[in-house]
Structure 1
Amino acid sequence: MTKIVDVGTRLVHIEPETLRTDAAQTFVRQETILVTVRTDDGLSGTGYSYTIGTGGSSVLALIRDHLAATVLGEDARNVEAVWARMLAATRATAFGVLTSLALAAVDTALWDLRCLRAGEPLWRLAGGAHPSLPVYDTEGGWLHLTQEELVENTTAAQRAGLRGAKLKVGKPTAVEDAERLAAVREAVGPRFELMVDANQSLTGAEAIRRARTFEPLDIAWFEEPLPAEDVAGHVRLARATTVPVAVGESMYSAGHFAEYLSAGAAGIVQADVARVGGITPWLKIAHAAEAFNVKVAPHFLMELHTSLACAVPAGMYVEHIPQLGAITHSALHIEDGHVIPPEAPGLGIEWDEDAVEGRRAA
Structure 2
Amino acid sequence: MKVKEVRVSYQNRPHAANPIRDALQTLTGGGSVSVEIESDDGLVGRGGSSFGRIDGAPRTLAVLIEEILAPKVVGRDAEQIPAIIESLKVETEYHGTEGLATFGISAIDVALWDLLGKAHGVPTYQLWGAYRDRVPAYAMVGWSNWTIDQLRGQCAAAVEQGFHGVKMKVGAPTLEEDVERIEAVRKEVGPDIKLMVDANQALTLTEALRRGHVFQELGVGWFEEPLRADDFEGYAELTQRLRLPIAAGENLYSARQFREFFERRCCDIVQPDLRRAGGPTEIRAIGALAGAFGVPYASHGGGPAALSLLLCVPTAIFLETGLRSSADGFPRLENGYALAPQGAGFEWE
Alignment TM class, shorter chain as reference: over 0.9
Task: Show the counterpart of 1:20.
Answer: 20
Task: Show the counterpart of 2:165.
Answer: 164
Q: 1:61 aligns with which of 60, 63, 74?
A: 63
Task: Show the counterpart of 1:135.
Answer: 137
Task: Show the counterpart of 1:357.
Answer: none
Report the 3-state secondary structure (helix = DSSP H, G, I; strand = E; otherwise coil) of the residue aligned with 1:316: strand
Report the CA distance between 1:182 and its aligned residue. 2.0
Task: Show the counterpart of 1:346.
Answer: 345
Report the CA distance between 1:235 and its aligned residue. 0.8
Task: Show the counterpart of 1:337.
Answer: 336
On the 8 A contact 2:110/2:279 being kept in 1, the answer is yes
On the 8 A contact 2:162/2:333 being kept in 1, the answer is no
Deviations 1:76-130 (A, max 9, x none): 1001111111111111233311011010111111001111111110222222222
Task: Show the counterpart of 1:227.
Answer: 228
Report the CA distance between 1:336 and its aligned residue. 2.2
Q: How does 1:1-362 map to 2 (within 5 A)?
A: 2-14=1-13, 19-54=19-54, 55-139=57-141, 141-321=142-322, 331-349=330-348
Report the CA distance between 1:157 and its aligned residue. 2.0
CA distance in 2, matches of 1:337, 1:19: 29
Q: What is the aligned-residue RMSD (CA, Å)? A: 2.1
Deviations 1:32-74 (A, max 9, x none): 1111111212222111112222212221111111111111211
Report the 3-state secondary structure (helix = DSSP H, G, I; strand = E; otherwise coil) of the residue aligned with 2:26: coil
On the 8 A contact 1:95/1:253 being kept in 2, the answer is no
Deviations 1:205-257 (A, max 9, x none): 11111101101122111111011011111111111111111111111221111
Report the CA distance between 1:301 and its aligned residue. 3.3
CA distance in 2, matches of 1:158, 1:330: 16
On the 8 A contact 1:122/1:308 being kept in 2, the answer is no
Report the CA distance between 1:349 and its aligned residue. 4.7
CA distance in 1, matches of 2:323, 2:336: 16
Consecutive unaligned residues in structure 2, runs of 5 or more = none
More deviation, 16-25/309-318: 16-25
Letter in 2 for 1:183: A
Letter in 1 for 2:260: E
Letter in 2 for 1:50: S
Letter in 1 for 2:229: A
Tell me the percent identity: 35
Consecutive unaligned residues in structure 1, runs of 5 or more = 351-362
Deviations 1:127-184 (A, max 9, x none): 2222111111112x11112223323322332233211110100110111111221232
Report the 3-state secondary structure (helix = DSSP H, G, I; strand = E; otherwise coil) of the residue aligned with 2:250: coil
Letter in 2 for 1:336: N
CA distance in 2, matches of 1:267, 1:106: 30
The total of aligned residue pairs comes to 345
TM-score, L = length of structure 1: 0.90
TM-score, L = length of structure 2: 0.93
On the 8 A contact 1:127/1:312 being kept in 2, the answer is no
